[in-house]
Structure 1
Amino acid sequence: MTGDARFEDGAERPLRLRALDANDLSVISGLVQDAIFPGSEMRWDRSARRFGLLLNRFRWEDAPRAEAQGRAYERVQSVLAFEDVLSVQSQGVAPGDSETILSLLAVRFEPGEDGTGQVLLTLAGDGAIRLEVETLEAVLRDVTRPYAAPSGARPNHPEA
């Protein structure tokens, strides 16, 4: 008997996900919520039309198991990359600044005409990065082994 994959099924494996539409990207957005990174860990390769971030991602997929087992929450370094990027704009972000730590809250796609659109990366503190894309193609890939979250805490978002 086979069934649908469950969120918990990926808890012990490194993630490698691809998003080709807004629904796919919403899954990646949930997994990178509360990821942190210094401004120096984002790159736009204009000639390759690729934008990428090296994130320290909270492992939301492992949090329920960590709580049940009474062990530390985990983070993992992950690459979030976008292909076919035509332009990049930012607000409240200093690219190349290794001293400023940014926190990613959400990633969403705003479709345009004929498959084009904009990817909006919303950051804590009113920061944002907007990618103009020819087509949506994003990849999230874990690149290190998980490690204990330095804060020891699960990210918390107070209700407005």
Structure 2
Amino acid sequence: MSDPAAEPLKLIALDAEDLAVVSAHLQDAVVRKGDIAWLPAEQRFALALRRFDWEGAERGQKRRRLAALHFERVTSARSVKIEPGAKDAVFSLLAVTFAEAQSPAGEVTLHFSDGAAIRLGVECIEAQMKDLGPIWEAAATPAHPDPG
């Protein structure tokens, strides 16, 4: 029987609802600072992540896979609690959100662990997430402390 979670995932986000779906699939993805690129001349922001396979986790499988996420029509990018150097620094992505400013423009925020964030000024939401390559076994399932 084929494992549907093993199939590469490819998602496009054109509004906040789509972006929430992308965010859910990228929750707990691990990213190296050296795998993040802001290309202002192309109005593009891109990153490579090692995402946790939450669909497989529902069946008791602990797996990760390499994925790419990029945003088009990006007018600005700024970071919070991310040092300029340290290309090997590793961050855990918690969520991707959108706050509308003057429709359809707004700010996409990539929320990382320990309060780190990247804020992208965008003309509109235009993002794509795509799995790259095979799945591999992960050491553990990501866990979050109970806030209450």
TM bin (shorter chain): over 0.9
Distance in 2 of aligned mates of 1:129 and 1:81: 13
Q: Which stretches in structure 1 are left out of the alignment for 5+ residues?
A: 1-8
2:106, 2:122 within 8 Å by CA — same for their partners in 1? yes
TM-score (norm 2): 0.93
TM-score (norm 1): 0.86
Distance in 1 of aligned mates of 2:51 and 2:11: 14
Identity %: 41
2:20 counterpart residue number? 26
Please state if 1:47 is matched with 2:41. yes
Aligned to 2:20, the other structure's residue is in SS state helix
1:58 counterpart residue number? 52
Which of the pair is proportionally richer in strand?
2
Instruction: Find the structure with the greater CA-based Rg.
Output: 1
Distance in 2 of aligned mates of 1:46 and 1:10: 37
1:34-113 mapped onto 2 (5 Å cutoff)? 34-65=28-59, 67=60, 72-95=61-84, 97-113=86-102
Name segments (4+ residues, structure 1) moved above 3 Å.
none
The number of residues matched between the two structures is: 145
| CA gap 1:96/1:139 in 2 versus in 1, 3 angstroms | farther
Q: Which stretches in structure 2 are left out of the alignment for 5+ residues?
A: none
Provide the alpha-carbon RMSD of the alignment.
1.3
Deviations 1:136-160 (A, max 9, x none): 01111001111111xx211001111
Distance in 2 of aligned mates of 1:12 and 1:76: 9
Aligned to 2:114, the other structure's residue is in SS state coil
2:140 counterpart residue number? 153
Deviations 1:11-62 (A, max 9, x none): 1210000000111111111110100111111001111101011001001121
